[in-house]
Structure 1
Amino acid sequence: MFEIFKEYISQKATLTETEYAKIEAVCIIKKLRKRQYLLQEGDVWKYNAFITKGLVRFYSVDENGRENIVSFAKENWWTGDRASLLTGEPSKNNIDAIEDTELVLITKTNFDRLCREIPALNDMVNAILNKSFIASQSRIHAAIAFTAEQKYLNFAEKYPDLLLRIPQTMIASYLGITPETLSRVRKETVKKH
């Protein structure tokens, strides 16, 4: 699994073998079965997590027991609760596996140290955080301004591979629409195209 992580880093930064060895020395390999939690509400999140295989969802559960999916993360993506990581406060969210998943975890302490010791890694992380911030703004805009059909088409355009991997009820939750609305929108979309 570290080789997959190393390949990902090598596409974004130039590191020496010594630097890769420093990273590998602090990596924790984690395997999740489908539906197994990586993080449960109330726990403090302490890692930077990179997915080498599989798919997870990041979500909260409201007082009515309804799941509100904030994001998905697949191979070569990062996941975690950044607010809990940075504040040390218990998470209000859950992360669980939609598919059998394998991850590389690095504790916050070790990750921060690596970023100080390896400037190219720090630059890569900052670029990823900037891209993530832009994606979050785009997601908020879509949630506020788009119709149900526009939300679905936007999701389908950005993540066509996820349409087949994620149950429709989860996609509906992510889009902030009911499963019935999603079903109707999908039927209408098929008719148009």
Structure 2
Amino acid sequence: MAIHPLINYLTDSIVLSNQEESLLLSKISIRKYLKGQYILQQGDSCKFLNFIISGTTKTFHIDNDGNEHIFRFAIENWWATDLPSFLNQEISNTNIQCLEDTEIVQISLKDLEELFLNISELEHFFRILFQKVSITLEKRIITNLSFSAKEKYLLFKEEYPEFEQRIPQYMVASYLGISKQYLSEIRNQLVSK
């Protein structure tokens, strides 16, 4: 069953009774997207919390000059959601696009809140998850402000080794805030050492 990755992901941290698991299953939907399709487009409201069963996504912003700024990738067992838009039900400043054929589990805010009321462990789980997201975001901001391009690339490779074969290098460069040519120079320097 396609939902098993989400159940396994949750039960690594919390215990769900059969009744709670059934309630959770009644509140989610599964959706498949093709490579290149958008899960969310800038200017729309993020209607769902998205858990990736299979595939890869990028989250990015298009500025007023049409430049793409990637700030997150997500793969299996990760979440791909614009949290401010989702939690506040406001217009999104980001796009979420599939880099591969992608299958996701979706939960609406209304259904998530109902789950929180009925499954206290699930509310605790998501509170911790949202705290981790906040911590990760703050660390990323500090890294972007204080690390050199080479240090950012080395940290990226260390923290996300599974991305190396799945994410095109020009997208990694965008994520790091450098040109693809400069990333190529950094990679060449590291290989020649």
Normalising to structure 2: TM-score of the pair? 0.97
SS of the aligned residue for 2:19 comes to helix
Partner Cα separation in structure 2 for residue 97 and residue 7 of structure 1: 23
Partner Cα separation in structure 1 for residue 155 and residue 68 of structure 2: 21
CA shift, 1:86, in A, is: 2.2
Deviations 1:14-58 (A, max 9, x none): 110110100001111111111100001111111111111111011
Does residue 154 of structure 2 align to residue 153 of structure 1? yes
What amino acid maps onto 2:94 in structure 1? N
The CA RMSD over aligned residues, in Å, is 0.9
Per the alignment, residue 132 of structure 1 pairs with: 133
Per the alignment, residue 173 of structure 1 pairs with: 174
Partner Cα separation in structure 1 for residue 132 and residue 92 of structure 2: 23
Q: Where do residues 2-41 of structure 1 align in structure 2 (5 Å cutoff)?
A: 2-41=3-42
Per the alignment, residue 100 of structure 2 pairs with: 99
Partner Cα separation in structure 1 for residue 129 and residue 91 of structure 2: 24
Per the alignment, residue 124 of structure 2 pairs with: 123
Deviations 1:97-122 (A, max 9, x none): 01111000010000011012101111
Normalising to structure 1: TM-score of the pair? 0.97
Per the alignment, residue 61 of structure 2 pairs with: 60
SS of the aligned residue for 2:164 comes to helix
CA shift, 1:163, in A, is: 1.1
Partner Cα separation in structure 1 for residue 181 and residue 66 of structure 2: 18
Partner Cα separation in structure 2 for residue 11 and residue 177 of structure 1: 37
CA shift, 1:3, in A, is: 1.2
Per the alignment, residue 69 of structure 1 pairs with: 70
Partner Cα separation in structure 2 for residue 190 and residue 128 of structure 1: 37
What amino acid maps onto 2:124 in structure 1? D
Which ranges in structure 1 are unaligned for 5 or more consecutive residues? none
What amino acid maps onto 1:89 in structure 2? E
After TM superposition, what 4+ stretches of structure 1 lie above 3 angstroms from structure 2?
none
Give identity over the alignment, percent: 37
